[in-house]
Structure 1
């Protein structure tokens, strides 16, 4: 009798294990982007009219490669991960020399009630900004990107991404600051929501980043969206941040090589000094392959410096296939007073941009090609 009972129990266990293994399916995907352009910029630098001709990288998108995967655990549960590294195809160098997976490196658990992720992650502001701009929040032509320069990604980030309820999705983030005796020092808090109703898309996000002693905070707010009118889209975006050094960099956070380094933490800012960016743009699809767009962005400096700026641009995109696109951009940027904003593209690459003198204008032209794999 005991032998029969033991055999029966072993059979049940084997069946459960076999069923579990049958459901535990996994997949890994290699993906990436290659983006190169020929660029021209003209501005007054060091008191002299200066022109720059460059073979640049990362015009419309940042060149990268990545590994994305998941394992089905059954019952609606999955293990997920993403490892992503940026590079410059013009030189073959890592875009960020002090880290390998500089763009993303996270592990997650997805469940029917949402997904939790742990590690280096994109911010909602970065992920959604391209939906608020006809230039995809990139290229020389995006005044929205050139002026606002939101924090793109954060280390040691714990996030919750909700399922879609009534076409609406919510994200909550907390980045561990790693400071002894405090959970607030160097911590970064984020919240955002996006929704789509027919032809209308709307999104909003908030970021609050503390310094090491939690005595000073950088705050950023983004809101905007687009409306599909049938032959194209009308885009609108707003960004506000309490920054004082954004006259040249657009970012009050320590941002080496365009990537946030939480070991350094936010720099100081002056209470009441806000920079607000307003962007309006639109595109028109002549065919499924050809589209063109125009845009205008304005930055208002609320401080006594009055370092305002504005930018007007146009773009043409032609899709050679579903994965390959050629694009052309022309843009003109005006700085006022001590402002020194510049055209940077999808991410800063040394040698592909000029920083004009204070209060000087800048003109830029790009012709590039982008391939997805």
Structure 2
């Protein structure tokens, strides 16, 4: 029996034991998401017109399972934790073979004046990006997600999350670099604020990540808003990043500082130019169950390559229940000069998307289903 199977059996046994011991002052919840789609993409690859039809995963949300819990410690204090693992429902394989709980793995204390969490955690940029896009910053259709390259989660992260005050909440994060003789090497610093003001939602987040020698830094800023006009929402998203983490010829799948996949290495040491992503989208609710949306996004490149791109998309969502949704997406992405941006969805695995030749356009369609457990 391999270590992965042993880990699964241990987690299941612990969950069942805790569930049996649960009482009014503590709780343990098992949760999950299943997301599968049939996708079609068309572009030029190696000079030839190429199409791809694939059964893919993680179109609108990343498939995952997790365990979260809370224990009442008295006086308004609670011990809290969350363990979350991504997987591919098409094959049953774990999303990332190099770590079991690849999404989140943290423990902390919630108090009247906020929460303190320790461990692997989502970044505010990742957690809030879906609020700034009619495509929830996912699917082939999200130009916001396809062009921007925010860091999704961070290891060894110490976070403070404030309580909401007049609809406003602040997050502060510091990821310990773990480098001998330096506190700055490989460290990640984050700050963010989100606010609900009547029908409007606003968000602003900043990230600064260093390489192990602190000789180069990734800097990212995300800002945006949405506005509920009664029958739907209007969305705006902005993202700016220096070019240390993504080639000026296309969007990268790896993340900075070796924090996501150790095999991809760390932040480079060549100072880069900046990319700015702008996203405009809206949706309309025909009923509580049926909505449609459309969007336009583009990216600018401050380097001499001037590798810009733009994307037009539309989406239909139909909720069969509170837990189950059908979705359909059509999209077209146009690259300029030698840009090679592609449609990558939420966290689609290799084989479910195409990378176009330099300067080539790409068309995509998805029909999918997601289920919340």
**Which TM-score applies when normalising by structure 2?**
0.91
CA distance in 2, matches of 1:260, 1:223: 26
| Residue equivalent to 2:190 | 190
CA distance in 2, matches of 1:156, 1:331: 37
Between 241-250 and 181-190, report the one with greater CA deviation: 241-250
Unpaired segments of 5 or more residues in structure 2? Answer: 1-21
After TM superposition, the structure 1 = structure 2 runs for residues 271-282 of structure 1, keeping only pairs within 5 Å, are 271=272, 273-282=273-282
| Offset at residue 260 of structure 1 (A) | 4.6
| Residue equivalent to 2:337 | 337
| Residue equivalent to 2:251 | 249
Is the CA contact (8 Å cut-off) linking 1:177 and 1:262 kept in structure 2? no
Matched position secondary structure for 1:321: coil
Say if 1:23 and 1:348 are closer, same or farther in 2 by CA, change over 3 A: closer
- Which structure has the greater CA radius of gyration? 1
After TM superposition, the structure 1 = structure 2 runs for residues 40-119 of structure 1, keeping only pairs within 5 Å, are 40-119=40-119
CA RMSD after TM alignment = 1.9
Unpaired segments of 5 or more residues in structure 1? Answer: 1-21
Is the CA contact (8 Å cut-off) linking 1:281 and 1:294 kept in structure 2? yes
CA distance in 1, matches of 2:329, 2:177: 40
Is the CA contact (8 Å cut-off) linking 1:87 and 1:93 kept in structure 2? yes
Residues matched between the structures, number: 351
**Which TM-score applies when normalising by structure 1?**
0.91
CA distance in 2, matches of 1:269, 1:31: 42
| Offset at residue 267 of structure 1 (A) | 2.5
CA distance in 2, matches of 1:178, 1:262: 17
| Residue equivalent to 1:135 | 135
| Residue equivalent to 1:354 | 354
Is the CA contact (8 Å cut-off) linking 1:146 and 1:250 kept in structure 2? no
After TM superposition, the structure 1 = structure 2 runs for residues 1-373 of structure 1, keeping only pairs within 5 Å, are 25-243=25-243, 244-245=246-247, 247-250=249-252, 253-254=255-256, 259-261=260-262, 264-271=265-272, 273-373=273-373
Matched position secondary structure for 1:88: coil
Is the CA contact (8 Å cut-off) linking 1:222 and 1:239 kept in structure 2? yes
| Offset at residue 245 of structure 1 (A) | 1.2
CA distance in 2, matches of 1:58, 1:163: 31
